[in-house]
Structure 1
Amino acid sequence: MTTSDDALTYVYAAAPLTAGLREALKGLRGIYGSPVLFVTAAPFASDSADGADGADGPPVTLAFATSHVPRGDFDERALKNHFEDLEWLEDVARAHHDVVQALSTRTTVLPLRMATVYQDDDRAGQALGEQHDAFAERLSQLTAHTEFGVKIYLAPSAAPAGTGPGADTGAGTGAATTPGKAYLQRRRAQHNAQEAVYGQAQEAAEIVEAIASRYASQHARHPTQRGALTGPGENVVNDAYLVPDAYAESFRAAIEDAVDVFDGIRVEVTGPWAPYSFAMPPAEPRRSAGGEEHGP
């Protein structure tokens, strides 16, 4: 099936076309509330009916999970404008994420970047076929795995005991005797306390990595977050781990138990998520005389 002239084909993820995917698609809605459908490409070999391995076994069809979206909002010119609209971006990103997460509960998914669109279903299917082997290989590595995030935050800074504005600055015990010296002492004490907290964060990060090496198959390091995304405290570690499903609870419990001894930091373990951090980087967009593919 192809799209109408005023619509484009939006792609959320690639997945093997299994019974689990078909079930997940029933009633699922995506961008602007549009139904989530699928387009297919040539089959690849798999060693299980629900797997995505590229080894021996019966052929399994690869599919894109798609929706039809208005051309006026998702063609190349419109996207350039929309990328300046944070409210629009948030709505589309949330819908994209919700679809990928819903699919990931029923089958292995390879999430694609937000705003991956094609002229129509036929073009999307062609692109899927052209990248078939690469998608199949990556899906085989993601089967029975999920992503967990581990973030480390410094506790909100506060003056150590005895260093606040009302602290004793009298003589006789090496304390400052003037307001200027008292200020310098407070600043020095605050700096030392902050350095101690950074030291705790570094120690916690090393512990997390050591534990994760026993459970996770892959590790991705993301830039630390800034501003409102971090909440109270500074984000100093923002990592993702690809963990086999069989070890998921052990992974979470081991990290949470190990870092519970630290007072000056906060460690947050999130997940399980669809494997966004471990999806294959999209290929360069392909163009034809007929239009503006922005897809993988």
Structure 2
Amino acid sequence: MSSTLSQMTNGSGFPKAAELIEITGTHALEASDRAIFNHLLQTAHDSGRLADPDAEWEISLAALRRASSRHESNDRLRESLRRLRRTDVKVTYISSRTGKRRTMESHLLEFTDTDDEESDSATLQFGIPKRLRLILARSNRWGRIRCEVVYAMTSKYAIALYEKLCLWANLDHCVRTMDIAEFRDMLGVPPGAYERGLDFERKVIDPAALEVNGLSDMSVRIEPQRRHTRASIHAITLCWWRKQGDEFRAAMQERNRSKVGRMARLRGKVEKVDATLQLPPPNGLRDP
């Protein structure tokens, strides 16, 4: 099987190693953090130097900021970079020496170095931890991630679900049932959050499915499993497929539209306004 690093970015996205798609401990990261990290990871991958022991990269702050936000300040961007440096994640991989599963705890970024001045020429220099890059260099499973899809999403759970579906996209079997704890871990739901089934469906499942189905090139159906109607959710069944035809074009068109009113459009709750202009009678006269 070919390596992840040997794959080229194409129209379907950049190849993100399965080890990074399957990381856990990401509950402290926001949707914008995950989107920015994908942008940086694609920059590193496309440079061809991701496996180099001393590799560092540089990118325009303005380009990175404009892809994620309409704000002209870099403050929010710096906050995201700070969280990416400080958040401990767990990366599970197979040791090349022993063939056994191991788990490494790491940050996603080793360092960031930014210009202090707010100008279009300001840049970000960044590095990815060496041990993490060694794992990526040995990776032979990947999912193709479209950065523009991730930037369009506002739910971090939608991003996590989308990336997982991209990893599974070419599997022959497109239905999977998993324990609720595994599903929560996969999406990065904070421990102890949304323990009630209705809260979990409303705050996690529904937003994730809505944005994946409305904005990505994948479709998904999520069905919570209960042993009886009043029981708690004990498992989740996922069914997914690639969009084609009108379904694919509709998602692409929505990504190109303004984010204003997007959630209402995705839910089908946009009201049509009668744009007919009612003019007053001439000379201020009223109809009899």
TM-score, scaled to structure 2: 0.24
Q: Which has the higher strand share?
A: 1
TM-score by length of 1: 0.24
Q: Which structure is higher in RCO with an 8 Å CA cutoff and minimum separation 6?
A: 1
Could you say which structure has the larger radius of gyration? Answer: 1
